[in-house]
Structure 1
Amino acid sequence: MDFWSRLIAHTPLSSGNSRKDYAKDPARRLHRFEKEYSQLLQAWRTSSNLATDEEAAEYIEIRLQELTNILSDESRRPLPHPCIAFASTKQLYIPVAKIATSSFSEWIIKEAVLFFATLIESEEEAFVENNSFSASLTNLLVRITGANSIRLGADTEARVVELVFNITTKIRLNPEILPAWFKTQSPVTQQTAKEIRDHEKFTGRTKKQDFPLFYLLVDYIHHDGKVGDFARTGLLYIIEAASSSVALEQWIVESDLSTLMATGLGALYSQLSRKLVIDHMANDLPPILAFSDYEHPKANYEIISSTSFEFQSHLDTFLSHLLFWQDVLNHCKSVEVKSTLLEHFQVIFLQQLLYPSLLQSSDIDGGSSVAVLTYLRRILESVDHPDMINLILHYLLALPDIVSSVPSDSLDVVSAARKRKSMDLATMMASKGESAEDPLLFNLVDLILACLRSQSQQTILVTLQLISVILKRHHRYAVITLLYTERVPGESAFRTIGAHHQEIEYIMSLAGTVGGQDNFDDIYQGVLKDTLSRLENHPCSIKLVTPKTSPNNHKLPAIPDCLPGAPRDVRSHTLRPDDPLLNIVLDRLQTFFTNPVETNLSLTEAIFDLAVCGYMHLEGWFLRHPNSYVFEDDDEGPPLPEPPLDPESAEYTEYQQMQSLKACCRRPKWNQASLPRLLTVLGTLCDQVATYRETIPRFDDLLQQRREAFQTADAGSQAPARPKNSILQPAPTISSPAIERAANEDKRNSSRERLTGLEGFAQRILSELGTPSRSGSPRGRKDTIRASSDRSTPVIPPYETPIRTPAQGGLGGGTRSYSPSSNSSAISSTWADAKATDPVANQAKAFQAIDQSILARRVGIPVTGEEQKQPLSVEPIPFNLEKPLPSLEASADDETATKANIEAIGSETDTVLVGDGQFESVLAMEDDGPTTPVEEKLVSVSHVLTNVMILQSFLFELASLVQVRAGLFEEVRFTDSHDLVK
């Protein structure tokens, strides 16, 4: 026999694949499985203590791993599966569970959990329906997660919770499995019941042995990552299964699920900071704030900044648990379970935590009002379940309780259990001596009105944001509480088409006083689209904009509120002119140019939200009421034909229709005194812009520069714009090129005489409309009409786009600091830079220095109209405007001319400070200059320019609002059978 024959005889070719042969052959696979199991039992029995015998523990771990691998491999192979059948017949899971519970070894526990998971995933032998299997697994999970067990690692915990989640998934798909895992104990005797303390009955300690997996999931619902996700989802599946089991429904009602969830939510709320300031990242300041007098608020160990990572983490955790509450209510199909949860939510969270924090808040102790109002706003933004919203606002707004019978789909035994639970809750609260304050004495409306009158700008800001959320998302609660409204009787209160055109033109003329050179056709089209989207998405407008395709679907289903006392659907109404909220908001609007930019953004947003609802009529508080229309008497319509028409004829009916149409097309006399206060305040603000233009040098040029800076920032930003009330998140940073328009002074001066973009836009759209003049005549204004864009258009950049403009010096940072220095040092520094550059660059730098000195001036609110008897309260101008500026043209001796120009400009300014290659003016008060009252608030010209752009954008929004509402909600009358002549 040769070498190869001997090799083949002694070493078969199949020996290298012996393991695969064992796996393929069911008999050999079963033999190997039994061998591994025997070795496992032998090692366990011979070891006295696995906790101290590391060698035996490692050996058992390997044997468990081999058993799991064999089962996992067999489940993927075709039948038969003898190893899985052997595990079911011999009940291998019982000794495996005992080994894991007594080992106190995380590695053995981990392998045992994988062993049970493999048996469940095999979906054979009905393991999940087997009582012995469920008892062994339940005992294992309870022992390894109990208080006396070892501390499990994150990976092992995840495997444990995932295993329980897989069981709940199978219960959800097949409710018949539930009895194997949920077993109600035999009823306790009367003597035993007396020995159980009331507190233990309330907390559900006597119920844990009925459904241990339920409580295991409850213990992990507050965890982060996939552990918390598995636990919360598994708990939702169990609650959903309660609808098919009366016993489980009663058990959940009597358990401490609602107590644990409510107290857990309260604990997360208590972790939030009591005092808060709203801030932005110093290196990511939005451009609209960078070009203003924004100053970072002060934070310390007690007052937390909204940009703090710790605060953001706590807030996200609290909101995620609040959303879990909402998910539980969405999955719960039992009215009794849902009512129990909501009752505990109100008593434990609303009455004991949220409302007391609102009641005890103050704006003078460092930001507690800012904190609680911000938390409430985020709660109302995050939650959309009607029952939770109704419970929160019904309690905080002190709405009257309406006792009504709530239909229940459960049996009487479940209702009785819920009543007992309610009594236990009341007894527990009474025993603790915790009596909730009564919102009837001081409710959320009182707090909002008080905070709007606050002296703290941060308190005003968060209050306006809270108002916007309530108006946009929960308007039907605001109609009967926050706002003073009245019913609108019929269509007679609608404005006529003539008055509609007149009022749109008036608002456009107000926007035109600001000026601009952009393409306002495209800008206004974008504003119209944004306004249409906001109107259509308002919750109250769904019934108005939903197409009626058949006579049977004209009535939409009512909002599914289970709790009594929910407000009814909103009906046609209007805002009373004496509404306190409206008047306080308009008071804040009067100081628009000295308000912080964030306050103005929230202020304009709140005013816009007041008019978004489709059932809110604008006549009376926003636009003129038809009862105040006064018409000319010289136009009586076309004369009747001769001979007179028969009143019963079709010609006479047509003549009456023409008369009615012409009557609605007439324009009422424009009486400035009859305008609502909102339009009057807006007119005053535009008059103040005109005063600024007259008193601030180069106002139009600086305003155009600011507009182009925002457009550049917006063009460079790829991130979508965030809502104006999202002020808690940081924003990315981009850079913007310098705005150097000073070198083209002649071109800029000539641009004032050219036809601007808004002039052509207004001539095309408003050619047939007479422009209402704020001086009294609706056709008297012939000024140049200019306008800017909406905040959602490229004119105002999104919040995500901070900009640092080199030409603006310190205006691009988060704070501004003007340090005085000597004239000589500034001029010498400027002269040193000038020697190294050409005359054109010198000229541009000189104009930049002048612009910076103007932007740094401090101005107040100007006095307009007949009351303008005193000059505008400003800090003195840094150069003499009565003297012409020195010529900046280059001469034969460029160096001499440049030096003379710089010195001439420097002699007119107080100080020019050079820092980081940029010019920044620093002003000083002159001895004989005007004095500024101490109580008057002064802001920089740069701050005023930013607010002017916000005002112009707001005017465009209002014009688009009036125009879109007229077509979407059919608010304009084209014909009228009544005599409209007053």
Structure 2
Amino acid sequence: MDFWSRLLAHTPLSSASSRKDFAKDPARRLHRFEKEYSQLLHTWRNSSNLAHDDEAAERIEIRLQELTNLLSDEFRRPLPHPCISFSAAKQVYIPVAKIATSSFNEWIIKEAVLFFATLIESEEEAFVENDSFSGSLTNLLVRITGANSIRLSADIEARIVELAFNITTKIRLNPDILPAWFKSQHQVSQDGKMLLDNHEKFTGRTQKQDFPLFYLLMDYIHHEGKVGDFARTGLLYIIEAASSSVLLEQWIVESDLSTLMATGLGALYSQLSRKLVIDHPPNELPPILAFSDYEHPKSNYEVVSSCSPEFQSHLDTFLSHLLFWQDVLNHCKSVEVKSTLLEHFQVIFLQQLLYPSLLESSDVDGGSSVAVLTYLRRILESVDHPDMINLILHYLLALPDVVASVTSDSGDIVSAARKRKSLDLATMMASKSEAAADPLLFNLVDLIRACLRSQNHQTVYVTLQLVSVILKRHHRYAVSTLLYTEGVLGDSHHRTVGAQQQEVDYFMTLADTIGGQDNFNEVYENTLKDTMIRLENHPCSIRLVTPKVSTTNHKLPALPDGSPGAPQDVRSHSLHPDDPLLNIVLDRLETFFLNPVEVNLALTEALFDLAVCGYMHLEGWFLRNAQGYEFEDEDDEPSLGAPPSDPDSQEYIEYTHMQALQECRRRPKWIPSSLPRLMKVLQKLCDQVTAYRDSVPRFDDLLQQRREAFQIADNLTDNLSMVQQPIGNRTPISHSSTATPSVDRGYFDDDRNTSRERPSGLESLAQRFFSELGTPSRSGSPRGRKEVRRVTSDRPAPPNDTPLRAPLPRSFSPASAASAPLASWEARSDTVFNTQARAFQAIDQSILARRVGIPETKPLVGPITLSFDRNPTMIQGDSVDGDESRASEEGEGGGEDALLAPSEDGETDASTVAGAEEKTVTVSHVLTNAIVLQAFLLEVASLVQCRAGLFDEVRFT
């Protein structure tokens, strides 16, 4: 039977069952493992040089692969695991590491790394805690990634870093493993102090042999993809483990971790372009810029465009490393390690690189101010760690230093190490620079104010963006530095409910004067929702909007910043009307229609952010001062009757309460001279819109067409995003505070029956985007609406105000139509219609191409009636000419003298207008800015209304 059994065992019919039995049998599996291991050693010893012996290298690779497969299969099976036990008892990993180290063969190295990874993954025999195992693996990793090793592929590097990451994961889960991988070899004197050369201490030369795994991960933290992710996360786990080991904490403080991280961040910052222009790709120009006088800025080898792929790659790399700094500080539980890192961040990055670049920037040398302000904005947008934010803004804003005692649980050993590290850092920096710049002489506030007065609109644009970021995310730092504020005590400064309603109606009325055909009630409701979200999400408003847990628990949530030197909690304050930043912004706002659209968007955003903080009172600079209310004696006010005779009675108390309520409902006199400058500027801008309407033919129709073009662009963007997303990931579109609401879906349904030869609004809009004309042509007028054009006044139509529909031919009659074929009649009608449409487009094109300046306006006279489906409000203004009122009888040329008159060929003749503004823009540019202004007025009204309810800012008694 033995003979037949052996014979059948070698037949093909029994091979499959034999392999299964072999895998199940631990003894046979061990026998196979020992055999493969012996052949591996035999091949290695008989080969003089694996680097030049390809046949031996291939055999060794196969043997290593077989050993790895046997181990991988075994630890997935039930106990016993003899192969794993054999590897631990015989220390198989030692010769495997030596073979891979001396082979200089990429495939052998790969199989050796997989072999070690399989042993670690088995979680048996305590391989990770074994000193011999850690020494062999560490030596292997150091040798194959060192300078004298062969160049490895990206896949093998990923496997190496992943293996190191797995080890750090186990160290994090079990800190007792740390001594096997970290062995401090410092020389210690008799009194316990370490004896190290100062230069070696700072450069970290002796530390590499103490913790090679740490430096292996450090070498890969700048890589992209999963290699960099594994390296950065593994390093975070090691730093987190320092809280459980005083020796490791001291070693990290004295190592060059902080130096390498700070210099690495500085090197990435230095790679960013010194000169920058903000631009958009030609095929991705936002619609709001495409419908304006936007011109692509010029870039060259020295001035880089912000949409350059190479620049975006460098900026993303820099920001990702900055976020790694934040992650390190978040995971670090050691006060000494964190302090060392922040100290190097300030000295090496802030003082030596960031602040000097801000100090040396200029808007006359091709965009260096644009570059550094953009980088600073992106830094403040990306970083959330309070210590980093405090360090950056505390230094750049030149806030006074506060010396705070740092308590450490590690004792005097780590504290002494940190002091030595600080001294070494100061000595090194002193040897590199003779005198460092001091923010006390020129800080970030000075730079912001200077850049806001710049003639370069890109400098103004990026500066306003930076201001908005500071106001939105770090308002506490702006209260005492960037803004000129004054404290407010009590609620006596709050506006009354009558004044509140009057001012909200005022802003709504201003928005209504710009005109439009859309459902502004729906637009305003969406704006209210967005404003409420922005108010609730402001960091200063957390204390105000957080509900109290109980009536006895009045403790407010603590702010997430307890850094030494950080500003204290924000208190109730108001912006002084003479604040330099506010007045510079309002100076820019006065030239709203001549400003670039992107500057106006940043202006309105900055003004909105000034008023978002819950502790910022609006009275005095944003709204009328409550202390200056004046009331008229109104005879038609319902009388409450005579007061009760007994002052102590309940009836008398109720009478006085009702009297106070009635007094607060009264609306103060509307005195234009008492309005804050912001309200006056907004009124002036709306008067300029009226002047444009009186001077520019078909202004209302062109404005409505521009608004509908934005609606179509929004719908196109939403539809494209929905198409690009998988069906399961599509989400409903949220409300947004855009200038125009969504287009009615019926608008597209009614277009289906129109002639296909006539270009649709979508087609015309696409032609404008792709052609990128400075003065885009008019799109096809909306069809299918009941009201073709909007009559905004009773004045006669301008000469060029031709009807949108083509008139019928004079020879047309019902009889001739009945006798003629239908197709022939449709052809003639379409021909006439297309001819008229092209004529109208040419007329509108000439109107849009006209260049205009700032018109002369007349002060507000007479009443303005609100028309936003709210309670009508009469806002009385000062009369200039007695009983003269601003009406439509002025005619079509009422304000035309203030504009630059275009010639017959469309060119502007500035000499024909005396005292005309030098700077002019096209009518198309004015239309876009008018829509932006209207959206901002709705946002201002929603802001005043939402703050009243959210922050209890209105007095009812």
Q: TM exceeds 0.5?
A: yes
- Normalised TM-score (structure 2): 0.84
Describe how 1:115-194 pairs up with structure 2 within 5 A: 115-188=115-188
Name 1:330's counterpart in structure 2.
Answer: 330
Please give the per-residue CA displacement for 1:432-490, whole angstroms capped at 9, x wherever unaligned: 23542100000000000000000000000000000100000000001010000000121
Name 1:715's counterpart in structure 2.
Answer: 715
Q: Quick one: distance in 2 between partners of 1:447 and 1:796?
A: 43
Letter in structure 1 aligned against 2:907? A
Matched, 1:859 2:817: no
Match of 1:950 among 929, 932, 957: 932
SS in 1 for 2:492: helix
Unaligned runs of 5+ in 2: 725-735, 745-760, 778-826, 860-879, 881-892
Give the 3 Å change call, closer, same or farther, for CA 565–324 of structure 1 in structure 2: same
Checking the alignment, whether the CA contact within 8 Å between 1:290 and 1:811 is kept in structure 2 is yes
Unaligned runs of 5+ in 1: 722-730, 733-788, 798-802, 820-833, 879-908, 911-922, 976-982
Give the 3 Å change call, closer, same or farther, for CA 552–31 of structure 1 in structure 2: farther
Give the 3 Å change call, closer, same or farther, for CA 155–932 of structure 1 in structure 2: farther
Please give the per-residue CA displacement for 1:382-424, whole angstroms capped at 9, x wherever unaligned: 1101111000000000000011223323222111111111111
Please give the per-residue CA displacement for 1:685-729, whole angstroms capped at 9, x wherever unaligned: 0000000000000101111111111111112221799xxxxxxxx
Name 1:460's counterpart in structure 2.
Answer: 460
Give the 3 Å change call, closer, same or farther, for CA 5–93 of structure 1 in structure 2: closer
Q: Quick one: distance in 1 between partners of 2:773 and 2:281?
A: 12
| Displacement after TM superposition at 1:924 (Å) | 3.4
Q: Which stretch shows the higher mean deviation, 578-587 or 37-46?
A: 37-46
| Displacement after TM superposition at 1:564 (Å) | 1.3
Checking the alignment, whether the CA contact within 8 Å between 1:504 and 1:963 is kept in structure 2 is yes
- Normalised TM-score (structure 1): 0.82
Q: Quick one: distance in 2 between partners of 1:420 and 1:547?
A: 48
Q: Quick one: distance in 2 between partners of 1:373 and 1:295?
A: 21
Q: Quick one: distance in 2 between partners of 1:621 and 1:665?
A: 22
| Displacement after TM superposition at 1:814 (Å) | 3.1
Letter in structure 2 aligned against 1:859? V
Describe how 1:484-523 pairs up with structure 2 within 5 A: 484-523=484-523
Name 1:264's counterpart in structure 2.
Answer: 264
Describe how 1:631-646 pairs up with structure 2 within 5 A: 631-634=631-634, 645-646=645-646
Letter in structure 1 aligned against 2:312? Q
Q: Quick one: distance in 2 between partners of 1:464 and 1:958?
A: 18
Q: Which stretch shows the higher mean deviation, 484-493 or 20-29?
A: 20-29
Checking the alignment, whether the CA contact within 8 Å between 1:363 and 1:456 is kept in structure 2 is yes
Give the 3 Å change call, closer, same or farther, for CA 972–515 of structure 1 in structure 2: same
Q: Quick one: distance in 2 between partners of 1:216 and 1:809?
A: 55
Name 1:963's counterpart in structure 2.
Answer: 945
Checking the alignment, whether the CA contact within 8 Å between 2:535 and 2:614 is kept in structure 1 is yes
Q: Quick one: distance in 2 between partners of 1:874 and 1:350?
A: 50
Name 2:772's counterpart in structure 1.
Answer: 814
Checking the alignment, whether the CA contact within 8 Å between 1:162 and 1:230 is kept in structure 2 is yes
Name 2:806's counterpart in structure 1.
Answer: none
SS in 2 for 1:963: helix
Give the 3 Å change call, closer, same or farther, for CA 259–643 of structure 1 in structure 2: closer
Name 2:803's counterpart in structure 1.
Answer: none
Q: Quick one: distance in 2 between partners of 1:804 and 1:555?
A: 56
Checking the alignment, whether the CA contact within 8 Å between 2:739 and 2:934 is kept in structure 1 is no
Letter in structure 1 aligned against 2:764? P
Checking the alignment, whether the CA contact within 8 Å between 1:857 and 1:874 is kept in structure 2 is no
Q: Quick one: distance in 2 between partners of 1:59 and 1:6?
A: 29
Checking the alignment, whether the CA contact within 8 Å between 1:296 and 1:814 is kept in structure 2 is no
Letter in structure 2 aligned against 1:338? K
Checking the alignment, whether the CA contact within 8 Å between 1:293 and 1:943 is kept in structure 2 is yes
Q: Quick one: distance in 2 between partners of 1:219 and 1:5?
A: 58
Give the 3 Å change call, closer, same or farther, for CA 691–409 of structure 1 in structure 2: same
| Displacement after TM superposition at 1:549 (Å) | 2.4
Q: Quick one: distance in 2 between partners of 1:575 and 1:154?
A: 57
Higher relative contact order (CA 8 A, sep 6+): 1
Name 1:939's counterpart in structure 2.
Answer: 921
| Displacement after TM superposition at 1:279 (Å) | 0.4
| Displacement after TM superposition at 1:648 (Å) | 1.0
Q: Quick one: distance in 2 between partners of 1:286 and 1:637?
A: 53
| Displacement after TM superposition at 1:877 (Å) | 4.4
Q: Quick one: distance in 1 between partners of 2:851 and 2:5?
A: 106
Checking the alignment, whether the CA contact within 8 Å between 1:104 and 1:149 is kept in structure 2 is yes
Name 2:532's counterpart in structure 1.
Answer: 532
| Displacement after TM superposition at 1:871 (Å) | 4.6
Matched, 1:842 2:825: no
Checking the alignment, whether the CA contact within 8 Å between 1:429 and 1:435 is kept in structure 2 is no
Checking the alignment, whether the CA contact within 8 Å between 2:397 and 2:444 is kept in structure 1 is yes
Match of 1:791 among 733, 738, 741: 738
Give the 3 Å change call, closer, same or farther, for CA 397–248 of structure 1 in structure 2: same
| Displacement after TM superposition at 1:627 (Å) | 1.2
Q: Which stretch shows the higher mean deviation, 933-942 or 81-90?
A: 933-942
Checking the alignment, whether the CA contact within 8 Å between 1:296 and 1:815 is kept in structure 2 is no
Q: Quick one: distance in 2 between partners of 1:291 and 1:278?
A: 18
SS in 2 for 1:541: helix
Letter in structure 2 aligned against 1:839? V
Please give the per-residue CA displacement for 1:117-171, whole angstroms capped at 9, x wherever unaligned: 1100000000001111111111111111111111111111111111110000000
Checking the alignment, whether the CA contact within 8 Å between 1:161 and 1:217 is kept in structure 2 is yes
Describe how 1:552-571 pairs up with structure 2 within 5 A: 553-561=553-561, 563-571=563-571
Q: Quick one: distance in 2 between partners of 1:96 and 1:594?
A: 75
SS in 2 for 1:619: coil
Please give the per-residue CA displacement for 1:924-972, whole angstroms capped at 9, x wherever unaligned: 357x972476862110000000000000010000000000000010100
Checking the alignment, whether the CA contact within 8 Å between 1:465 and 1:606 is kept in structure 2 is yes
SS in 1 for 2:844: helix
Give the 3 Å change call, closer, same or farther, for CA 635–187 of structure 1 in structure 2: farther
Give the 3 Å change call, closer, same or farther, for CA 526–66 of structure 1 in structure 2: same
Give the 3 Å change call, closer, same or farther, for CA 970–276 of structure 1 in structure 2: same
Q: Quick one: distance in 2 between partners of 1:47 and 1:841?
A: 88
Checking the alignment, whether the CA contact within 8 Å between 1:288 and 1:796 is kept in structure 2 is no
Q: Quick one: distance in 1 between partners of 2:10 and 2:907?
A: 106
Name 1:626's counterpart in structure 2.
Answer: 626
| Displacement after TM superposition at 1:794 (Å) | 2.7
Checking the alignment, whether the CA contact within 8 Å between 2:708 and 2:743 is kept in structure 1 is no
Q: Quick one: distance in 1 between partners of 2:146 and 2:299?
A: 42
Name 1:924's counterpart in structure 2.
Answer: 907
Describe how 1:373-388 pairs up with structure 2 within 5 A: 373-388=373-388
SS in 2 for 1:279: coil
Q: Quick one: distance in 2 between partners of 1:869 and 1:487?
A: 47
Q: Which stretch shows the higher mean deviation, 110-119 or 706-715?
A: 706-715
SS in 2 for 1:492: coil
Q: Quick one: distance in 2 between partners of 1:6 and 1:72?
A: 29
Checking the alignment, whether the CA contact within 8 Å between 2:507 and 2:941 is kept in structure 1 is yes
Give the 3 Å change call, closer, same or farther, for CA 530–317 of structure 1 in structure 2: same
Q: Which stretch shows the higher mean deviation, 388-397 or 196-205?
A: 196-205
| Displacement after TM superposition at 1:811 (Å) | 7.5
Q: Quick one: distance in 2 between partners of 1:720 and 1:602?
A: 27
Letter in structure 2 aligned against 1:924? E
How high is the sequence identity, in percent, across the aligned residues?
75
SS in 2 for 1:574: strand
Name 2:42's counterpart in structure 1.
Answer: 42
Give the 3 Å change call, closer, same or farther, for CA 218–553 of structure 1 in structure 2: farther
Letter in structure 1 aligned against 2:849? A
Checking the alignment, whether the CA contact within 8 Å between 2:611 and 2:618 is kept in structure 1 is yes
Give the 3 Å change call, closer, same or farther, for CA 720–559 of structure 1 in structure 2: farther
Q: Quick one: distance in 1 between partners of 2:657 and 2:854?
A: 51
Give the 3 Å change call, closer, same or farther, for CA 115–646 of structure 1 in structure 2: same
Checking the alignment, whether the CA contact within 8 Å between 1:513 and 1:690 is kept in structure 2 is yes
Q: Quick one: distance in 2 between partners of 1:638 and 1:708?
A: 47
| Displacement after TM superposition at 1:198 (Å) | 3.0
| Displacement after TM superposition at 1:662 (Å) | 1.1
Name 2:660's counterpart in structure 1.
Answer: 660
Q: Quick one: distance in 1 between partners of 2:557 and 2:407?
A: 17
